[in-house]
Chains A and B, each alone.
Chain A
Amino acid sequence: MKGSKPMNRRRLTLLTTPILAAALLAGCGGTTQGDDDAGGGPAGDASADPNAEYETGLSFAMLPKSVNNPYFDASSTGAEAAATALEGAFEYTGPSDASASSQVSYIDTLSQQATDVILLSANDPNALCSSLEQARAGGSVVVTFDSDVDSSCRDLFVSQVDSDEVGLALLEMAAEQIDATGEIAILSATANATNQNAWIEVMEAELESNPSYADMELVDVVYGDDEDEKSFSETQGLLQAHPDLKAIISPTTVGIAAAARYLSGSEFKGQVALTGLGTPNQMREFVNDGTVTEFALWDPTALGELAAYTGAAAASGIITGAEGEVFTAGDLGEYTVGADGVVTLGPPTRFNADNIDDFDF
């Protein structure tokens, strides 16, 4: 054992020499970014038959970002209803942690089981691609909902909303509650949140261009980072900085719940309007106690139902995912496939004292 010192040094040299040599050799030339453009997945070359009937007996599997999440539980209720209506089999399965790698194992399992329709909310836009390609090569139809993957890796994407419609609906709700007059402020998620920034842009443009909003002024945009406590104190800060504030719009479920909690315990309750995107379960007590009049969100149950119908339509050959194709999604009505194989659910659902008890998510 006495000789272990020189031996270790020798071992270090042995270990590192090939690594360094490889690094040096590779230093000149080699594969760099942009060298190879990743080839797309299998392209939909089949032709659609808009008059075809929905096939019965299809197998559906919904794979959410993670299970035990009330939002996705609601989506699965909708998808299961659609699957039942089409006399198909339905399975709700997925990892308990929201990581891309654990979703891969579930996709592999589903493709082995030759599931006809896979409904997926992706944890990563790219990491799932090779598994999805295998599933599609095996004959599965892949429909993403809520959160998309690269468009070459799936057949269709069912989007919850159109960002223009969200922005417009938020502004409209605020205007209705303050008679379209006075100062308003926005409590957003993080400063670089893609969705929220798109909606804020729409609202800003609309405030400038739409004459019915001429008396409304956006005085501040603050960021609660989708953290409850930060959103809570940012709300407090907004009310202190702008004593004439009439309304707060919070386009994030974390923000609106925190703001509602602050307002309901403050002297501003009922004085400052609060609207935005929230879930009925989070907001029920604040609607009941009068802090909040109306807020909105897309209905995840309808989202899941539409996703299942979209997948069934593709599996039955009614659509292929090309722009302009039309199909009927049960009670939800008629939908048209947009550019890039995107089907949009429609305007967000509004929740108020009249209908909030009809929803549970």
Chain B
Amino acid sequence: MSADLRRLARPLMTWDAAIIAVTLAFLVVASMTVEHFGTARNAGYIILDLAPILLLALTMTLIVTTGEIDLSVASTVGLTSAAMGVMWNGGMALETIMPVAVLLGAVLGAVNGLFVTGFGLPSLAVTIGTLALYRGLAYVLLGDTAVADWPRLFTGWTLGTIGDGPVPNVLIPMLVLALACGLVLHATPVGRSIYAAGANPIAASRAGIGVGRLKFWLYVASGAMAGLVGVLWTLRYSSARADNAAGLELTVIAVVLLGGVSIFGGKGALPGVLAAVVLLVSVQNALRLAHVSTEALTVVTGTLLIAAVLAPNALGALRTALRRRRTTATGRTA
């Protein structure tokens, strides 16, 4: 009987499932207890607020799963935003500027990729460097000025909803890209290579996986994603500024870890990360609606993130302990 129970409980024991359950539970409880939380309008605000975090977290998940990290994403957002401002002031068409911004992001990502895979430098050091470098370049481009005269047609789209219903437009690219990243990670040979590279890079190389090339392209993808977020950010706030998205990399990495991706690579899944993004942004939103002070909000967010790092470890230890007991139990009966 207890074996059946255990088999039933096993999917619940994964961090992924746990975080999804916690997120759903939170949404239900908050809708019932916090005034204004469970409205379509608030859902729209939450989606708008989580869009940049979610998009950056998609590619970050892939990179962290290979055992690397990209701390430069928020600075890449800032630099593409600043570059957009310069191009717009220079009289370029926005239809040209947007793809160029995404390409610029890809190039900035390629620089990271080159240093990490080409020169074999630790990604933590490389991307701390480009975090400062890209942000610095953004200030070189725009200083402390802002470019704000973006056309309403485009800024309106980033804030608007599908057919004036409750669903924000930005949900479309978010879903498409989340689906694409999910498929790549969980249903393609590339995804299996990502796990293999993270779990044991030497073994992966021996198995014929081009670990370096794989990581290089993931950095390019991460940069292009940051470029896209730069475009969305600039248009959503109708403001190209060098300090756009400053500090956002920490939130992105936090949700990736909260989502159950191991910082050491090789472990993790996208659904958990998506749930973690929703959880973090909804908690902040609900606390604001409940008139909780900013100080308390920061403390709660911090606690949530520490729990995120501790809980999977605790869960892992628990699972190992259970397995050990089970093996000894079966050993005895055998």
- Chain A interface (Cβ < 8 Å from any Cβ of B): 1-2, 4-5, 8, 11-12, 15-16, 19-20, 22-23, 25-27, 29-36, 38-39, 67-68, 91, 93-97, 99-101, 104-106, 108-109, 112-113, 124-127, 129-130, 150
**Which single member of B42, B96, B207, B244 contacts A112 (CB below 8 Å)?**
B42
A-B contacts, 20 listed (Cβ < 8 Å): A1-B208, A1-B209, A19-B103, A25-B95, A30-B94, A31-B95, A36-B152, A38-B238, A93-B291, A97-B247, A100-B241, A101-B237, A105-B284, A105-B285, A112-B39, A112-B41, A126-B146, A127-B146, A127-B148, A150-B148
How long is the Cα–Cα vector from A106 to B153 in the complex, in angstroms? 25
- Which residue of A is nearest B150, CB measured? A38
**Which single member of B96, B214, B217, B244 contacts A26 (CB below 8 Å)?**
B96
Q: A26-B93, A31-B94 are in contact. Are A91 and B291 (CB under 8 A)?
A: yes
Given A20-B99, A31-B153; 7 other pairs, CB 8 A cutoff: A5-B213, A23-B103, A29-B93, A32-B93, A105-B288, A112-B41, A127-B241
Q: Which of B21-29, B84-92, B254-262 contacts A (4 or more CB under 8 A)?
A: B84-92
How long is the Cα–Cα vector from A253 to B291 in the complex, in angstroms? 33
Q: A126-B238, A130-B159 are in contact. Are A93 and B294 (CB under 8 A)?
A: yes
Give chain B's interface secondary structure class: helix
Q: Which of B257-310 contact A (CB under 8 A)?
A: 284-285, 288-289, 291, 293-295, 298
Q: Contact between A109 and B153 (Cβ–Cβ < 8 Å)?
A: no
**Which single member of A1, A20, A101, A130 contacts B207 (CB below 8 Å)?**
A1
Q: Contact between A105 and B96 (Cβ–Cβ < 8 Å)?
A: no
- Which residue of B is nearest A20, CB measured? B99
How near does chain B come to A196, taking the closest CB pair, in angstroms?
A: 14
- Chain B interface (Cβ < 8 Å from any Cβ of A): 35-36, 39, 41-42, 45, 49, 88-89, 91-96, 98-100, 102-103, 146, 148-155, 159, 189-190, 193, 207-210, 213-214, 217, 224, 233, 237-239, 241, 243-247, 284-285, 288-289, 291, 293-295, 298
Q: Contact between B151 and A35 (Cβ–Cβ < 8 Å)?
A: yes
- Which residue of B is nearest A7, CB measured? B190
How long is the Cα–Cα vector from A93 to B98 in the complex, in angstroms? 35
How near does chain B come to A116, taking the closest CB pair, in angstroms?
A: 15
Q: Contact between A33 and B89 (Cβ–Cβ < 8 Å)?
A: yes
Which residues of B are found within 8 Å of A34, using beta-carbon distances?
149
Which residues of A are found within 8 Å of B36, using beta-carbon distances?
112-113
- Which residue of A is nearest B103, CB measured? A19
**Which single member of A12, A15, A36, A126 contacts B239 (CB below 8 Å)?**
A126
Residue of A22, A32, A104 contacting most chain B CB atoms (<10 Å): A32
- Which residue of B is nearest A16, CB measured? B103
Q: Contact between B243 and A99 (Cβ–Cβ < 8 Å)?
A: yes
Which residues of B are found within 8 Å of A39, using beta-carbon distances?
152
Which residues of B are found within 8 Å of A127, using beta-carbon distances?
146, 148, 237-239, 241
- Which residue of B is nearest A29, CB measured? B93
How near does chain B come to A10, taking the closest CB pair, in angstroms?
A: 12
Which residues of B are found within 8 Å of A100, using beta-carbon distances?
237, 239, 241
Q: Contact between B295 and A96 (Cβ–Cβ < 8 Å)?
A: yes
**Which single member of A1, A11, A26, A105 contacts B45 (CB below 8 Å)?**
A105
Which residues of A are found within 8 Å of B291, using beta-carbon distances?
91, 93
Which residues of A are found within 8 Å of B152, using beta-carbon distances?
36, 38-39
Q: Contact between A23 and B239 (Cβ–Cβ < 8 Å)?
A: no
Which residues of A are found within 8 Å of B285, using beta-carbon distances?
105, 109
Q: Contact between B91 and A125 (Cβ–Cβ < 8 Å)?
A: no
Which residues of B are found within 8 Å of A112, using beta-carbon distances?
36, 39, 41-42, 45, 289
- Which residue of A is nearest B244, CB measured? A101
**Which single member of A5, A23, A124 contacts B241 (CB below 8 Å)?**
A124
Which residues of A are found within 8 Å of B217, using beta-carbon distances?
8, 11-12
- 10 A-B pairs with least C-beta separation: A30-B93, A26-B95, A126-B148, A127-B237, A127-B239, A30-B95, A26-B96, A23-B99, A31-B94, A112-B36
How long is the Cα–Cα vector from A31 to B208 in the complex, in angstroms? 48
**Which single member of A95, A96, A97, A124 contacts B146 (CB below 8 Å)?**
A124
Which residues of A are found within 8 Å of B99, using beta-carbon distances?
19-20, 22-23, 26
How near does chain B come to A316, taking the closest CB pair, in angstroms?
A: 24
- Which residue of A is nearest B158, CB measured? A130
**Which single member of B98, B146, B149, B239 contacts A38 (CB below 8 Å)?**
B149
Which residues of A are found within 8 Å of B41, using beta-carbon distances?
112
Which residues of A are found within 8 Å of B159, using beta-carbon distances?
130
**Which single member of A22, A93, A99, A150 contacts B246 (CB below 8 Å)?**
A99
How long is the Cα–Cα vector from A33 to B245 in the complex, in angstroms? 24
Q: Contact between B210 and A106 (Cβ–Cβ < 8 Å)?
A: no
